Amino acid sequence: MSLILPATDAEAPQRRERSVDRILQILEFLHGHGEGIRIGALAKALNAPRSSTYTLVNDLTQAGLLEISPDDGRIFFGKRMYLYGLNYIRENSLAKRARMEVDRLAKETGETSEFCMLQSGRYTIMHMRPGNRPFRISSAVGLQIPIPWTASGRLLLAGHDRAQIEALIAEEDLVLPDGRRIDIDEFIDAIDHARRDGFCLTKGLVDAVTQCLAAPIYGAEGNVEATICLVLPIDLSDEQTAALRETLLDSSSRLSAR
């Protein structure tokens, strides 16, 4: 007959660490998945036991971090997560100032404006304000996009060496939505050009009718901490684009640490 021994003091912290890691995996997956998912499918996606996944989801639901749809049992983020996000916007100095600057920039230029950062190896839109053009360029807060697809991504990687860049970029990240492939050497050269120029302009990467103009937001140590960018129609004249670039650089200067 075998005995189940109680956990030692050393084992308890390890169990807690594993639980925390699994919780973070659940939250990260839900964020990237972008829609509700049933527990069974979630456990399969995480390659985790269904029983422990059910227990963690139940705990997170009771805490208000997750909610379960009564209609189909799908799991999604709870109201408390939304409130925590509001706290970040209110209390983080850069996020608060960038939010106001993005709104002001969109109103002044009439173009879609975004504040972006790196999150989990992805370009992430932290705040966005649409422009006033009759057509709307697809963009959404929280949207995560492969870094090579964006002008901001080239600035956010400025200062990284080749090994760091290659570690961040998965092979599939180099394939654009239309099937074109970005050459890694050309991408690294573009990062270097963006660093030297102090801005980046990309045309027709995600779709054929838009271009993206991005400027860096520097932190106290001189590193690129975030970007502010304009998503523009591709048929703007060079003079219009140059004028918008100067306006954007003025915004990035105001947001950068002095």
What are the boundaries of each domain within the chain? 13-80, 92-255
What single DSSP character describes residue 6?
P
Q: The dihedral of CA 8, 12, 18, 23: what is its sign? A: positive
> Among 3.40.50.300, 3.40.50.620, 1.10.8.80, 1.10.10.10, what is the CATH number of 13-80?
1.10.10.10
CA 223 – CA 156 distance, rounded (Å): 9
As a 3-state breakdown, the chain gives helix, strand, coil percent values, each rounded to 5, of: 50, 20, 30
Q: What is the 3-state secondary structure (H, E, C) of 78-129?
A: CHHHHHHHHHHHHHCHHHHHHHHHHHHHHHHHCCEEEEEEEECCEEEEEEEE
- Cβ–Cβ < 8 Å for 186, 165: no
**59-93: b (≥16 Cβ within 10 Å) or e:** ebeeeebbbbeeeeebbebbeebeeeeeeeeeeee
**Each residue's pLDDT expressed in tens, for the chain with a length of 258 residues:** 333 334 455 455 555 557 788 888 888 888 877 788 898 899 998 888 888 888 999 999 999 999 988 888 899 888 888 888 778 777 788 888 999 999 999 999 999 999 999 887 778 888 999 988 766 555 677 777 889 999 999 999 998 999 999 998 989 999 998 899 999 999 999 999 999 999 999 998 988 889 999 999 999 888 999 999 999 999 999 999 999 999 999 999 999 986
Q: What own/partner pairs with CB < 8 Å and gap ≥ 24 does 6-12 have?
A: none
Q: Alpha helix locations (H) across 122-183?
A: 151-156, 162-168
Q: The dihedral of CA 90, 91, 92, 93: what is its sign? A: positive
Tokens of 52: 């422990």
**CATH of region 92-255:** 3.30.450.40
Q: What three-state secondary structure class fits 197? A: helix
